[in-house]
Chains A and B, each alone.
Chain A
């Protein structure tokens, strides 16, 4: 069929199928939303702890520090991973990388190809927010997170989460803070599969190692 006839025909069939409906003006207000906004009352510290627990439960490595300790933590993780070269999006603050001597840093300005990134050991990014109840970090391609390809092709992802500002408790709290027009990547632990005998294996195509650094306020070192 031609494009227009298919469109018209599908819509005709839908309308014919719904011949029994009483009215045709949608009112989404009739949907009962009696579910909870969060599943517990938590202090910001408790939310950060829950986030850490849930990330770790799905085999992400969680590290706690404060702003002053962040560069050393990043440097330490790069060394532990044996990283020789890393990529960062353009908006990552320079001081995050102030202790990474010896590691070649690529700054992405939209030109790095998938094949180039396939030779890069580590990517370091921030995030849009993190969700405690599900152990999820969300990236929205803001300047400190960059293009989606950056956090996909390298095998090691270091993600920095500022607490408490970037931590929400739940999905109902997360969605209003996100902009659907931006492409979003929601990450809950490293890449995984259970396709073989339901035996969980970390790492198929996405980064096999996920380090999440929870950065606390200056007054509260952990």
Chain B
């Protein structure tokens, strides 16, 4: 993935700072609780939500099980409709393809629709190196880009910023990118949106090339689908002469009809609306309407490695709604940046380590960034059992095992950092499988209880006792009491 995320600290260290940032926690709490409540209302309107969820899950599973078939069908349909299909194995491959396509147009600037896939591959940075300016046009992405910041949420990437911070960013940075912000700009959202409208309109009107992602690609028809709210998507998908869409291969769905499921589940899970303001669908090119040239770049970048894992595979069902972020108690306190990737929250904790591998301290810490409370699984519109995948990835890190990297099967070794834990787990498992040893351990704990301090040394123990007292060990274990209790149950008062 992108160099933007190289060298970031592991999740616990980043989250430690976030939990101390009162402003950030207030922003996140407000945002996640607001949208969480709205989503629940939107879902409650549909009495057949469980059936829609089951159908969406089945469609995605079916597609993934036959992904080779549907990708070839998609390629044929897009080509027949006047588009050109490219295949990219990884980020470098995709960035090179897009750069070459833009160079061929002779242009040095592009407008962009918010796209997770292009963030994942670090396209903007790659284009900048090639002398091409990429302008983000989604309001939140614009805020992030102007502020030289990183997105912190899939749906609302600038949610960590409040209105005053956004006003300051516009004031300070808009002029360097184009039309400056008005001098008397207030921090009212309406005024800020107006400033963005004026700033971006000149870019839309002169743009010759646009780069987008897509929410869905329909194999049978070659149709691309983009859902959005602001109209910046329509601008990019309609006005330029050349459109380049970079889309993960897992965004394929088989048939036009399948949209009837996802156009019900995605908006309600994402923005908590019955339907988002704008959805654009296009199939290749249309004479006299919209771009004359359409390129589709199909992106692997770790997706086939994810597909090879029969437990982790379900991650590829994800439709990027971000409902899991908004119910996640860990995301709410840690914030999106702590996840060190464009994919924060529960889905990021399972997607990033599968796409990037678990070789860095950050990526190896992500599967542990969860209490396994299960709120994410409950709201997921395609029923990704995120806790199941988290535990599965923890096993890969702690114990190693078979995996697939860059299309090659490999057996990875247990992570070094977990050696002490591994030894402790092995010892505990042995003790617990030998009741006499377990009883002896318990007896030792109860007999020495008077000596137990409230705070104890050692990294793991002090992680508990820095903020919490240890429980007091009682004088007798339960089994001790049971073995010595009076035979008549009536006497067994507490």
Chain A interface (Cβ within 8 Å of chain B)?
1, 3, 6-7, 9-18, 20-21, 24, 26, 28, 30-36, 39, 54, 58, 110, 114-115, 118, 131, 133-136, 141, 147-149, 152, 171-172, 174-176, 180-199, 201, 203-207
Contact = CB atoms under 8 A, between A and B. Distances in A.
Of all A-B residue pairs in the complex, the 10 with the closest CB atoms, nearest first, are A206-B231, A205-B231, A13-B304, A17-B308, A186-B279, A204-B230, A195-B140, A134-B275, A17-B307, A35-B51
A195 B139 contact: yes
B434 to A, nearest CB: 37
B337 to A, nearest CB: 17
Contact of A9 (B261, B305, B407): B407
Nearest to A110: B288
29 contacts: A6-B93, A10-B88, A10-B249, A10-B304, A11-B68, A12-B407, A26-B70, A34-B48, A34-B55, A39-B47, A58-B273, A147-B288, A152-B234, A175-B256, A180-B281, A182-B283, A183-B289, A191-B277, A196-B158, A196-B166, A197-B27, A198-B31, A198-B35, A198-B159, A199-B163, A203-B193, A204-B230, A205-B197, A205-B230
B87 A3 contact: yes
Given A13-B300, A184-B279, A195-B159, 8 more contacts: A9-B89, A10-B298, A14-B307, A135-B275, A174-B260, A201-B193, A206-B230, A206-B278
B71 interface: yes
A93 B366 CA distance: 60
A20 B45 CA distance: 39
Interface stretch (B12-20, B58-66, B121-129): B58-66
Contact of B87 (A10, A24, A187): A10
A185 B277 CA distance: 10
A15 B304 CA distance: 9
Given A12-B407, A35-B51, A194-B271, A18 B65 contact: yes
Interface residues of B, number: 99
Nearest to A135: B274
B263 interface: yes
Interface stretch (B200-208, B355-363, B437-445, B469-477): B200-208
B205 A115 contact: yes
Contacts of A174: 260
A197 B188 CA distance: 11
B87 A7 contact: yes
Contacts, number: 257
A188 B267 CA distance: 11
A34 B49 CA distance: 10
B239 to A, nearest CB: 5
Given A197-B27, A205-B231, A188 B54 contact: no
B328 to A, nearest CB: 17
Contact of A35 (B55, B218, B409): B55
A16 B408 CA distance: 9
Contact of B163 (A114, A188, A196, A203): A196
Interface of B: 27, 30-31, 34-35, 45-48, 51-52, 54-55, 58-59, 62, 65-72, 81, 86-89, 93, 137-140, 143, 156-159, 162-163, 166, 189-190, 192-193, 196-197, 200-201, 204-205, 218, 221, 223, 229-232, 234-235, 238-239, 249, 254-257, 259-261, 263-264, 271, 273-283, 286, 288-290, 298, 300, 304-305, 307-308, 310, 404, 407, 409
Contact of B261 (A10, A16, A35, A189): A35
A193 B275 contact: no
Contact of A197 (B30, B70, B72, B89): B30
B58 to A, nearest CB: 5
B304 A14 contact: yes
A10 B300 contact: yes
Contacts of B55: 31-35
A105 to B, nearest CB: 21
A36 B249 CA distance: 29
Interface SS of chain A: loop
A31 B288 contact: no
Given A3-B86, A30-B58, A193-B139, A183 B281 contact: yes
Contacts of A13: 300, 304-305, 307-308, 407
Given A175-B256, A175-B259, A203-B193, A11 B71 contact: yes
A191 B278 contact: yes
B288 A175 contact: no
A201 B189 contact: yes
Contacts of B93: 1, 6
Contacts of A204: 139, 193, 196-197, 229-232
B189 A180 contact: no
B407 A35 contact: no
Nearest to B230: A204
Contacts of A28: 62, 254-255
Contact of B30 (A58, A135, A198): A198
B65 A199 contact: no
B65 A21 contact: yes
A102 B197 CA distance: 29
A206 B223 CA distance: 22
A99 to B, nearest CB: 29
Contacts of B192: 196
A180 B71 CA distance: 18
A58 to B, nearest CB: 7
A205 B238 CA distance: 13
Contacts of B89: 1, 6, 9-10
